[in-house]
Amino acid sequence: MSDIKILYTANVHVTGGRDGSARSADGRLDVKLSTPGGPGQGTNPEQLFAAGWSACFEGAMAIAAKQKGITLPADLAIDAEVALRLGDDGFSLAAKLNVSVPGLDPDLARLLIETAHRTCPYSKAIKGNIDAVVALV
């Protein structure tokens, strides 16, 4: 583990929790937060996680495609679902990525998706921690 090199560190300051605001140290992120499904404007942590995981996953797919000499279609798209759940053990998350890779052979698309799911930092972080599914649609 001594060979780990930090490539980037995000610094975000949050006040007010789910009904507050979040601002990154560099000012590139500055959002109002709101409770999921509640009144008012703003995003919520579940939406932010969905956006972050999707973007990271698409990047992991691009790396996998490049390594295998495959060109990804320009209209590749990922629709993310992040559910906030309440059960006997309290709150939890469940997540799903629906990956659309138009024009690419489904077997190749699945190979890239599987590779990306093994290498994407978000996928690694949630593995075994939340119910997560990645599907080719």
Identify the bridge partners of residue 15 per DSSP, sorted by sequence position.
21
Numbered ranges of CATH 3.30.300.20 in the chain: 45-136
Numbered ranges of CATH 2.20.25.10 in the chain: 1-43
* pLDDT exceeds 80 at position 67: yes
CATH T-level assignment (fold) for domain 45-136? GMP Synthetase; Chain A, domain 3 (3.30.300)
CA distance 50 to 84: 12
CA distance 40 to 17: 14
Q: What is the pLDDT of residues 78-134, one digit of tens each?
A: 999 999 999 999 999 999 999 999 999 999 999 999 999 999 999 999 999 999 999
Residue 52, pLDDT score: 98
Residue 135, pLDDT score: 97
AA identity, residue 127: K
Find the angle CA(9)-CA(62)-CA(49) to the nearest 5 degrees: 45
Residue 2, pLDDT score: 76
* pLDDT exceeds 70 at position 1: no
Q: What is the pLDDT of residues 10-19, one digit of tens each?
A: 999 999 999 9
* pLDDT exceeds 70 at position 22: yes
Of 3.40.50.1980, 3.20.190.10, 2.20.25.10, 3.40.50.300, the CATH number of 1-43 is: 2.20.25.10
How many CA within 13 A on the CB side of residue 64?
Answer: 19
